[in-house]
């Protein structure tokens, strides 16, 4: 007899001595409360701190994937206790973290501005052996992060740091840190194409637009533009301008937030000043001015685009006003066309 049936019968017929079966989960609840698994003491506080494997990788222990293996193998301790659970969050500044019994080294945070030349890649590891941005910096700096990327044929300012938190904030669209570019395109761009680039276009991965775009000068067969973007996608500027009818001939990033490229020679680097680091951190914490696009707004934009395309097809299939007034004329025209 089910537990609720017993309760119902007790209320209906007044059987006070009817034995009621105890739900099974009451028997195992004390055992579940007393169960203590390795690493759970840290997993309870998942909303604070950084993931343990991320902290280890930022300290230069190994790559993030290799750090995950170290955790699973039980070689990492936090405050004297072994942690084997993935996703555990820790605070490096207030907790003692050891790997193979050795304390995690306290790395000094460094911030560099690099003028990336064409032909250099921004990836941390390149199987093809191409020159990397980090190869332009002095050796012995440990694990470094590039703030955003420039494709191989582009050039300009790249920020490099071992501060993973700041690097993530600077690249996340939520903060909307603006990047400024000088772009030379083929042909003379008119103001209709300029307005279209600022209104935005649809690419395969979503809607993209420039925060600001203006014509700096016009040359014999090209136009020099200044563009400002607050998010970055793969080859976004080249694809955006190609959609409005202009091929990019040269692309230089001249600023990231408050940091300017200025007159730094190509292939050179410099260390950011303390004042620049303070401004950079402030820019990284400032939320984006552009409101985030909801899923409903994205779907509405797609529906409007489909409706516009459907309207053009319908209009193309309608007979003209002349043919409606003079059907015989339209019929003769169609017979003439078929010949």
135 is catalytic: no
- Stronger pLDDT, 223 or 30, i.e. the higher one: 223
Q: Which residue has the higher pLDDT, 49 or 339?
A: 49
Can you give the pLDDT at residue 265? Answer: 95
> By percentage, how much of the chain surpasses pLDDT 90?
37
Is pLDDT above 50 for 49?
A: yes
Mode of pairing for the β-strands spanning 179-186 and 248-256: antiparallel
> What predicted TM-score, i.e. pTM, was given to this entire model?
0.62
The one catalytic residue among 11, 100, 151, 275: 151
Half-sphere exposure of 135 (CA within 13 A, CB side): 13
Beta bridge partners of 157: 115
Q: Cα–Cα distance between 82 and 96 in angstroms, integer?
A: 12
Q: pLDDT category, 13, cuts 50, 70, 90?
A: very low
Beta bridge partners, 123, equal: none
Q: Taking the domains of the chain in order of start, what are their residue ranges?
A: 3-34, 40-103, 111-285
83 in Cβ contact with 38 (< 8 Å): yes
**What is the architecture, at CATH level 2, of domain 111-285?**
2-Layer Sandwich (3.30)
- Report CA torsion sign: 275, 280, 283, 285: negative
Confidence of residue 315 (pLDDT cuts 50, 70, 90): low
Confidence of residue 139 (pLDDT cuts 50, 70, 90): confident
Cβ atoms of residues 267 and 115 within 8 Å: yes
**Which CATH number describes the domain made up of 40-103?**
3.10.290.10
pLDDT tens sequence across 22-33: 555 455 444 444
User: For residue 178, what are the CA distances in angstroms to 70, 117, 197?
Assistant: 38, 21, 17
Phi-psi region of 42 (alpha: psi -120 to 50; beta: other; left: phi over 0): alpha
C-alpha triplet 175, 181, 182: angle, nearest 5°: 170
């Amino acid at each position: 007899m089910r537990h609720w049936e017993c309760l119902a019968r007790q209320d209906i017929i007044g059987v006070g001595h009817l034995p009621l079966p105890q739900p099974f989960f009451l028997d195992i609840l004390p055992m579940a409360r007393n169960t203590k698994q390795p690493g759970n003491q840290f997993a309870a506080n998942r909303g604070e701190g950084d993931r343990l494997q991320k902290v280890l990788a930022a300290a230069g222990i190994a790559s993030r994937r290799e750090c995950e293996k170290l955790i699973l193998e039980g070689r990492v301790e936090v405050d004297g206790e072994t942690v084997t659970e993935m996703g555990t969050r820790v605070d490096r500044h207030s907790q003692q973290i050891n790997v193979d019994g050795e304390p995690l080294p306290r790395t000094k945070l460094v911030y560099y501005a690099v003028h990336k030349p064409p032909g250099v890649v921004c990836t941390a590891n390149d199987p093809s052996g191409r020159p990397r941005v980090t190869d332009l910096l002095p050796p012995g700096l440990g694990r470094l992060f590039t703030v955003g990327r420039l494709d191989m044929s582009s050039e300009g300012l790249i920020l490099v740091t071992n501060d993973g938190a700041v690097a993530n904030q600077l690249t996340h669209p939520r903060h909307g840190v603006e990047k400024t570019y000088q772009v030379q395109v083929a042909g003379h761009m008119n103001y209709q194409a300029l307005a279209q680039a600022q209104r935005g276009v649809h690419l395969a991965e979503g809607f993209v637009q420039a925060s600001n775009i203006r014509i700096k000068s016009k040359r014999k067969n090209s136009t020099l533009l200044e563009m400002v973007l607050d998010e970055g996608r793969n080859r976004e500027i080249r694809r955006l301008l190609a959609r409005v009818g202009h091929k990019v001939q040269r692309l230089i990033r001249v600023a990231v937030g408050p940091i300017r490229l200025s007159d730094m020679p190509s292939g050179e680097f410099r260390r950011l000043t303390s004042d620049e680091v303070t401004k950079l951190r402030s820019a990284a914490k400032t939320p984006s001015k552009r409101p985030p696009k909801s899923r409903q707004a994205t779907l509405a934009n797609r529906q409007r685009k489909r409706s516009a395309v459907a309207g053009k097809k319908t209009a193309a299939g309608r007979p003209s006003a002349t043919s409606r007034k003079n059907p015989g004329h339209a019929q003769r025209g169609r017979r003439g066309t078929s010949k």
